[in-house]
Amino acid sequence: MSARRTTTIAGSLVAASFSAVMILSFTAGADDQGPGSSKGGKAVDKAPAGVELTTLLPKKISVDNGSEETAITATVKNEGTADSGPIRLWVVGFDGLTVRNVPGCSPIAEKDLPEGSNSGFSCSLDGLAAGASKSYDVDATYDLGRTGKICLPVQNGDGSKTFWQQGPVPFGTTNPSPNAPATPLLLGTDNKPVAPGGDELPRTGAGRDVLPLAAAGGALVAAGAAGLWWSQRRPRRPQEG
C-alpha cells in the first residue's frame, strides 16, 4: 500500500470518527419527550356529572448529567362533556426528583406537602372546558444516584376532593450513562442509581489504566491520527535489484 493511499484511509477514519462523535452528542442532547401518558393514574373521588379529568406525563425525559436539570411537561385534560368548574393541579416531587418551578403556579408550603414528598407547586384553573387541556412546563432536578417519582393530583377548587391522581409514578433507567451528556429516563421505570465505578470500562489487562467512557469518542479520533503517524514513520523496505 502506498504512503499516499495509507494517508487517505487514515484521514477518512479521522473524519468518520469525528462524525460519529458529533451524531452521538446531538442525539444525547435532543429534548424529545415523546407522546404523553396517563400511566400510573386513577380516578379517586367522583367528579361532577359530565366531567372526566385525567393527566399526562411524557413517556421519557432527559437529565443533564452535569447540572442534574430536567424539563417535564405536565398536562391536565377534561375528557368529559361538561366544564370542570374551578380545579387545581398539583405537581409534586419525591425522592431524587425535586420540582424547582412551574411557571404560572404557586409553591406549596412545606407543611402542606403530601407525606414523603420534597417539593410541589399548585396550579389553579377557573375551569377546563369539555375536551380542553392545559399543559405546564415543569423545571426540575433529578439526583441520578437515587430513585425519583412525580405525582399529579387534580382537585376541586378548595382541595376537599381529589378527582384524579397520577402517581407517585417513577422516572428511571436500568442502564445509567454517567459520562454521556444526558441520561434518558422512562416513565414507569424504577431508576437504577449509578454504582461506584460504573462510569469506567472494565480492565483488559494487568496494570492497564481504565479508560473513561467519555474518552471513547476522542480515542477513535486519536486512533485515526495514530494510524496516519504510523504510516508516515513506517520504514520502507529497500528496493531489490
pLDDT higher at 19 or 6? 6
What is d(CA 181, CA 120) in angstroms, rounded to the nearest whole number? Answer: 27
What is the number of domains present in the chain? Answer: 1
Residue 193: the pLDDT is: 87
Residue-wise pLDDT tens digits, 80-101: 999 999 999 999 999 999 999 9
Question: Is 117 a domain residue?
Answer: yes
| Residue 146: CATH number of its domain | 2.60.40.10
List the domain range (segments joined by +) for residue 108. 33-187
The percent of residues above 70 in pLDDT, for the chain, comes to 66
Q: CA dist 99 to 57, 65, 84, 148, Å? A: 14, 17, 26, 11
Question: Is 2 a domain residue?
Answer: no
Question: Is 199 a domain residue?
Answer: no
Question: Is 17 a domain residue?
Answer: no
**Confidence tier at 33 by pLDDT (50, 70, 90):** low
What is d(CA 39, CA 149) in angstroms, rounded to the nearest whole number? Answer: 13
Residue-wise pLDDT tens digits, 127-140: 999 999 999 999 99
Question: Is 56 a domain residue?
Answer: yes
Question: Is 228 a domain residue?
Answer: no
**Confidence tier at 24 by pLDDT (50, 70, 90):** very low
Question: Is 226 a domain residue?
Answer: no
What is d(CA 92, CA 164) in angstroms, rounded to the nearest whole number? Answer: 14
Residue-wise pLDDT tens digits, 172-218: 999 888 889 999 999 999 999 876 554 443 333 333 333 233 333 33
Q: What's the whole-model pTM score?
A: 0.69
Residue 160 phi/psi, 5-degree rounding, is -80, -20
Maximum distance among all Cα pairs of the chain, rounded to whole angstroms? 101
Question: Is 19 a domain residue?
Answer: no
- What is the amino acid identity at position 189? T
